[in-house]
Amino acid sequence: MLLLDSGAITGLSGASPRTAALIAEMRARRRWPPLVLSPVLVECLRGDPGRDAPVNRFLKACDLVEGTPEALARRAAFRRAKAHTGSAADALVVAAAEPGGTVLTSDVGDIGALAAYADGVTVEGL
């Protein structure tokens, strides 16, 4: 299972040969479509239809997970407290990747710190 943080969404939503190749590689490895938690949208959308258009187009290729169960929120809070870093959305992404999932991120430092307290979560930089 592959989850994206806001930086990965922003990075992958830009049309470039590099992002197209990365998405093609993930498809070939059967890691596509990725999961996107709805709280992550707060960090990657601006509320401006024009500026948000590339992200909104990209999100159509993802599986959006709505709602945050209490157990997930509690696991995320615990990881964030232990790591002493990361946003609430980052902590939710890492907790949702448990067990054994992968988080694609542009912020390997914060996500990696959170993943150090998670069950088998792999972090890949964008």
Q: What is the pTM of this model?
A: 0.93
Q: From 97, 89, 96, 90, select the one nearest 111 (Cα to Cα).
A: 90
| Residue pointed to by tokens 């998670």 | 118
Q: Inform me whether the pLDDT recorded for 92 exceeds 90.
A: yes
Q: Measured between alpha carbons, how far is 3 from 96 in angstroms, rounded to an integer?
A: 8
Which domains, from first to last, does the chain contain?
2-125 (3.40.50.1010)
Query: What would the mean pLDDT of 66-89 be, rounded to a whole number?
Result: 96
CA 80 remoteness from chain centre: 15
pLDDT value at residue 101: 97
Q: What is the DSSP letter of 100?
A: T
The first and second tokens of residue 1, run together, are 């299972």
Q: What percent of the chain has pLDDT over 90?
A: 90
